[in-house]
Structure 1
Amino acid sequence: MTSLDSLDWVVLSLYFVILLGIAWWVIRQKNTNTEDYFLAGRNVGWFVVGASIFASNIGSEHVVGLAGNGAGDKMPLLIYELHSWIVLMLGWLFLPFYARSKVFTMPEFLERRFDARSRWVLSVVSIIAYVLTKVSVTIFAGGIVVSTLLGIPFWVGAISTVVLTGIYTILGGMKAVVYTETVQAIVLIIGAATLTFMGLDAVGGWSSLKETVTPEYMNMWRPNSDPDFPWLPLVFTSSVVGVWYWCTDQVIVQRVLTAKNLKEARRGTIFGAAMKIMPIFLFLIPGIVALALKMRGEISFDSPDQAFPVLMTHLLPSGLRGLVAAGLMAALMSSLASVFNSCSTLFTLDIYKRLYPEKPEKALVNIGKIATGVVVILGILWIPVISVLSDGLYEYLQKVQAYLAPPIAAVFLMGIFWKRMNANGAIAALVAGMVLGMSKLMAETFITSMNPGSFIHRFAEFNWLAFGALFFFTCVLIALVVSLLSSPPDEEQIKGLTFGAISDEQKAENKASYGIGDIIATLAIVGIIAWIMITFS
């Protein structure tokens, strides 16, 4: 494998100089209050919103893990990258309710819609979810990338990148995050697209690639009898996780809340949905190319998760290697920066401020900075567990999300679409869901110490996709029954926060926020998704 040479290091260094220059420019514009620090003053345009959505989603876990799926016979997981239609749901269905509520966080929205109990539970669950998924997985993937590229120990590369990202996130807040993410998204797209084209050329084109790995390998749809990826549970559970991630999760929704108005925010989600299609071509296909070249004996790697960096150093010439390396570092840093800021937002505004409401704005900003550091440490401590739960990074990520997402997705969906949903139903579904989901996660973590054939062992072994679907229906049933057995919500409290409680003025305001161009772009994106599903079948 070819290592980086002098020209590569020049390109990589230039990238960091530009990135830190942008961060320094933003840092000099003082964050005087929480709206500046956590939501960039709510004054961001659609392009930056969309680019920020893309960059915060596409982290090194996608670069490493999605390419690993392509190289490791896990094509069904491609469906998680076809969630552009759910990003569109955020802009068309959920966003108007969030915008009207003028909230900073998703737990705050639940308090407006239900009560303070729901806000507490969601805040705690969200921070746990970030530690178990976003922070630990991103650091783990970053360690693989940096150690493979630079030939340095895993922990040295991972932690040094974390420290660099943490510095500009802590000092600059959300404004530093969204503007640096825009640059990072551009660098990542250019670098990965270059590798995709060169990879397809090296393998002899798309037809030759399919012939090498066999057409059956490219099929993302497997029968329901498949022990790993039955298609029906896959479609359902991936959609539930998608609704949680794209429509209710703080990291993504916080980007939309930075927009200057509803029109800019919705167009940002449409732009973000269009960009979300690209990872299939930027990361998955290079993974398949790496597998084909490995089958031909031209390259070698020990783990599928090493496919992308190995392919990159094998194919790309001097200078381009440095550009793609910059793209990989961009992916790592952008996703880390996103989750750092969102974690600090959740802890500061939904937990600390409620315990100490008299604290001034400047003190809250400082607490947010401290919270960022604590979350990073917790994420690092969880990394050793990742290898226990799955032999693939991307599968681990989706598996853990399937154990955390269903109760949150159920509560938000029912809260927005069912007027009769009340606070008791919400808290019952959230608490029961948290207990059940964490039980499944812990059972899988300690499965090796269980007696085969026992109930707890069978529970741990139960297919994670089937579990996610049943888990969601269980949470919906709990919320439904408890809501119907208790008093309906107060009409004044839910006004504007759920379908069936929207005024004519609010409907008119929403209708005025989009045009025919927005509708055409939305339909075009849905059409492309359908084409990809047919192509990989």
Structure 2
Amino acid sequence: MKTLDTLDWLSISVYFIVLLGIAVWVIRKKQDNTEDYFLAGRNVGWFVVGASIFASNIGSEHVVGLAGAGASNKLPMLIYEIHAWIVLILGWVFLPFYARSGVFTMPEFLEKRFDARARWILSIFSIIAYILTKISVTIYAGGVVVSALLGIDFWTGAIATVVLTGLYTVLGGMRAVVYTEALQAVILIVGAAALTFIGLEHVGGWSSMAETVTPEYLNMWRSSSDPDFPWPALVITSTIVGVWYWCTDQYIVQRALTAKNIKEGRRGTIFGALLKLMPVFLFLIPGVIALTLKMRGELHYDSPDQAFPILMSNLLPSGLRGLVAAGLLAALMSSLASVFNSCSTLFTVDIYKKLKPDTPEDKLVRTGQIATVVVVIIGIIWIPIMANISGVLYEYLQKVQSYIAPPITAVFLLGIFHKRINSQGAFVTLVVGFIVGAFRIVLELIKGSLDPNGMLYKLGDMNFLTFGAWFFLFCIILTIVVSLLTEAPSLEKVTNLTFGTITEEEKLKNKSSYNWVDIAVSVLVVAIVIGIMVFFNGK
């Protein structure tokens, strides 16, 4: 890898000065209540909402991992990247319900629709899941990226990034997070787009690249009997995970809730969906370009995950290389900032405020800041454990989503679409769902010591996509059966919170929050998604 030169360092310095300027400007604004600190005063426009949704999703592990998928034979994973149509579902279907209920967090919505038990389960589970997956994986991948780009050791890179990100998240709250993310999204898109164009030119265009890697390599659809990526299970499970991640997870939804009204929030999700189409071309294609150059003997790397940084350092001109390096750091920082803020919001609003309901607003903001600091410290403590985990577990962390998502997706979807679903059905499904998910993870870890002909081995060895699809069906049936066998929910638990109970006044309000432009852009996004699915069929 080529090292960064003076011009690159100049680009990185200018970028961080601008970032610091935005953070300082935000920190100086008044932030003495929880709505201002956790939801940026619910006063953010559609552009910042959309850019923030995109930047939150694209972490450094995402950039590195997606390019790695392009550089190894894992193109079916591309389906997770064309979930732009699910981001539209957040804006068109879920957001009006969230906005009407006036909630800060997703567990809070479950309490309004069901009861306090559902809220507690989701709050505690979400915080543990964030610390063990999102934070640890992002810090670990970030340390690898920073040390590779800047030529410093892993620890220095990881800790410096965590401390810097933690600092502006603690001081600036959600407003600092969304405004810095808007800048980071722009930098990352410009830098990665330049790398894709320069890379394609370098390999002699798309057809030359496809010829080298063979058209079959560029096929995202495998047969239904494929041991790794059977296409029916891939479509079903990736959609379940997509609905959980984009429509019910605090980490993403919090961005849409910062909007000044439903109209801006929906437009933000539509803009976020448009941006979400870009990673396919910005990160996956550079991975395929790197593989092409490696097959031709023009580029060398040891593991697919090194494809993006090595391609970037070798192909990009001085100055631009620094800007993309800054963009990668930005991606890492925005993911961390988002998850830090989501954790502190969940802890403060869903746990602390519940235990101490009379706490004044300024003290709640301070509690949120302390919670962020604690999460940052836990994240740092987790690094050595993460660094010692083998690459298998890193891949396995991606699978965990297929075990977390089904019960949460089932409860949210049925809760919004069916007014007969009650708190008992939601509670039983969440509890049983999390036990089954944890049981599957344990079986997967110990399956080597189980009898290969036994039922437990088969359950632990089942393809994770197939398991996810059946698990979701089980959760849906469980929620419906328990709800029908128990008492129907009261009117206040369903009015305006399910599709069958929206008042005429609310329907009119919702109708006036969009126009033909919103519909046309949404249809365009769906058409592009279908186009990508058809294009990557190896023909």
Aligned-partner Cα distance in 1 for 2:477–2:382? 32
User: Counterpart of 2:479?
Assistant: 479
Aligned-partner Cα distance in 2 for 1:199–1:185? 21
TM-score under structure 2 length normalisation: 0.97
User: Counterpart of 1:28?
Assistant: 28
8 Å contact kept, 1:68–1:392: no
User: Counterpart of 1:254?
Assistant: 254
8 Å contact kept, 2:90–2:247: yes
Describe the SS at the equivalent of 2:502: coil
8 Å contact kept, 1:429–1:479: yes
User: Counterpart of 1:64?
Assistant: 64
User: Counterpart of 2:233?
Assistant: 233
How is 1:171-182 mapped onto 2 (pairs within 5 angstroms)? 171-182=171-182
How is 1:414-425 mapped onto 2 (pairs within 5 angstroms)? 414-425=414-425
8 Å contact kept, 1:240–1:405: yes
Is 1:505 the equivalent of 2:536? no
Aligned-partner Cα distance in 1 for 2:3–2:454? 50
User: Counterpart of 1:85?
Assistant: 85
Pair 388,475 (structure 1): closer, same or farther in 2 beyond 3 Å: farther
Deviates more, 1:353-362 or 1:426-435: 353-362
The structural deviation recorded for 1:387 is 7.8
How is 1:240-279 mapped onto 2 (pairs within 5 angstroms)? 240-279=240-279
Deviates more, 1:403-412 or 1:127-136: 127-136
Aligned-partner Cα distance in 2 for 1:498–1:480? 15
How is 1:378-397 mapped onto 2 (pairs within 5 angstroms)? 378-380=378-380, 384=385, 391=392, 395-397=395-397
Could you report, residue by residue, the CA deviation over 1:35-60 in whole angstroms, capped at 9, with x for unpaired residues?
A: 00000000111111111111111111
How is 1:291-302 mapped onto 2 (pairs within 5 angstroms)? 291-302=291-302
Which amino acid in structure 1 is aligned with residue 243 of structure 2? V
How is 1:182-221 mapped onto 2 (pairs within 5 angstroms)? 182-221=182-221
8 Å contact kept, 2:140–2:386: no
Which amino acid in structure 2 is aligned with residue 195 of structure 1? L
The structural deviation recorded for 1:398 is 3.2
Deviates more, 1:129-138 or 1:241-250: 129-138
Describe the SS at the equivalent of 1:44: coil
User: Counterpart of 2:109?
Assistant: 109
Aligned-partner Cα distance in 2 for 1:190–1:396? 31
Deviates more, 1:396-405 or 1:218-227: 396-405
Aligned-partner Cα distance in 2 for 1:341–1:246? 17
Deviates more, 1:382-391 or 1:344-353: 382-391
User: Counterpart of 2:515?
Assistant: 515
Aligned-partner Cα distance in 2 for 1:447–1:158? 33
Which amino acid in structure 1 is aligned with residue 65 of structure 2? G
Could you report, residue by residue, the CA deviation over 1:110-130 in whole angstroms, capped at 9, with x for unpaired residues?
A: 000000000000101211221
Aligned-partner Cα distance in 1 for 2:517–2:102? 27
The structural deviation recorded for 1:449 is 5.7
The structural deviation recorded for 1:156 is 1.9
Contiguous gaps of at least 5 residues in structure 2? none
TM-score under structure 1 length normalisation: 0.97
8 Å contact kept, 2:87–2:272: yes
The structural deviation recorded for 1:248 is 0.5
Is 1:431 the equivalent of 2:451? no
User: Counterpart of 1:368?
Assistant: 368
Pair 18,102 (structure 1): closer, same or farther in 2 beyond 3 Å: same
User: Counterpart of 2:328?
Assistant: 328
Is 1:469 the equivalent of 2:469? yes
Pair 491,438 (structure 1): closer, same or farther in 2 beyond 3 Å: same
Aligned-partner Cα distance in 1 for 2:43–2:266? 14
Deviates more, 1:187-196 or 1:132-141: 132-141
Which amino acid in structure 1 is aligned with residue 174 of structure 2? M
Which amino acid in structure 1 is aligned with residue 343 of structure 2? C
Which amino acid in structure 2 is aligned with residue 141 of structure 1? A
Which amino acid in structure 1 is aligned with residue 525 of structure 2? I
Could you report, residue by residue, the CA deviation over 1:430-455 in whole angstroms, capped at 9, with x for unpaired residues?
A: 00011111222233344556565554
The structural deviation recorded for 1:139 is 1.0
8 Å contact kept, 1:407–1:429: yes
User: Counterpart of 1:306?
Assistant: 306
Aligned-partner Cα distance in 1 for 2:99–2:387? 36
User: Counterpart of 1:355?
Assistant: 355
The structural deviation recorded for 1:98 is 0.6
Could you report, residue by residue, the CA deviation over 1:371-427 in whole angstroms, capped at 9, with x for unpaired residues?
A: 22333344455554688685485x445311111111100000000001100000000
Aligned-partner Cα distance in 1 for 2:450–2:9? 50
Which amino acid in structure 2 is aligned with residue 530 of structure 1? I
8 Å contact kept, 2:290–2:299: yes
8 Å contact kept, 1:389–1:396: no
User: Counterpart of 1:154?
Assistant: 154
Could you report, residue by residue, the CA deviation over 1:248-303 in whole angstroms, capped at 9, with x for unpaired residues?
A: 01011111111111111111110000000000011000011111111111111111
Q: How many residues align?
A: 536
Describe the SS at the equivalent of 1:492: helix
Could you report, residue by residue, the CA deviation over 1:56-90 in whole angstroms, capped at 9, with x for unpaired residues?
A: 11111211110010011100000000111100001
Could you report, residue by residue, the CA deviation over 1:470-489 in whole angstroms, capped at 9, with x for unpaired residues?
A: 11111111111100000000
Describe the SS at the equivalent of 1:372: helix
The structural deviation recorded for 1:208 is 0.7
Pair 176,333 (structure 1): closer, same or farther in 2 beyond 3 Å: same
Which amino acid in structure 2 is aligned with residue 478 of structure 1? L
User: Counterpart of 1:346?
Assistant: 346
Aligned-partner Cα distance in 2 for 1:500–1:514? 21
Aligned-partner Cα distance in 2 for 1:354–1:495? 24
Pair 202,47 (structure 1): closer, same or farther in 2 beyond 3 Å: same
Describe the SS at the equivalent of 1:500: helix
Aligned-partner Cα distance in 2 for 1:252–1:176? 16
8 Å contact kept, 1:133–1:401: no
Give RMSD over aligned pairs: 1.6
Deviates more, 1:355-364 or 1:522-531: 355-364
Which amino acid in structure 1 is aligned with residue 169 of structure 2? T
Which amino acid in structure 1 is aligned with residue 9 of structure 2? W
Aligned-partner Cα distance in 2 for 1:244–1:467? 16
Could you report, residue by residue, the CA deviation over 1:153-189 in whole angstroms, capped at 9, with x for unpaired residues?
A: 2222112101100000001000000000000000000
Contiguous gaps of at least 5 residues in structure 1? none
Aligned-partner Cα distance in 2 for 1:79–1:117? 34
8 Å contact kept, 1:136–1:379: yes
User: Counterpart of 1:164?
Assistant: 164
8 Å contact kept, 2:163–2:376: no
Pair 388,441 (structure 1): closer, same or farther in 2 beyond 3 Å: farther
The structural deviation recorded for 1:310 is 0.7
Describe the SS at the equivalent of 1:99: helix
Aligned-partner Cα distance in 2 for 1:418–1:128? 29
Deviates more, 1:125-134 or 1:254-263: 125-134
Aligned-partner Cα distance in 2 for 1:461–1:67? 27
Residue identity over aligned pairs, in percent, reads: 67
8 Å contact kept, 2:137–2:386: no
Aligned-partner Cα distance in 1 for 2:65–2:245? 17
Describe the SS at the equivalent of 1:299: coil
8 Å contact kept, 1:65–1:392: no
Which amino acid in structure 2 is aligned with residue 433 of structure 1? G
User: Counterpart of 2:130?
Assistant: 130
Deviates more, 1:328-337 or 1:432-441: 432-441
Could you report, residue by residue, the CA deviation over 1:96-118 in whole angstroms, capped at 9, with x for unpaired residues?
A: 10110000000000000000000
The structural deviation recorded for 1:317 is 1.4
8 Å contact kept, 1:406–1:433: yes
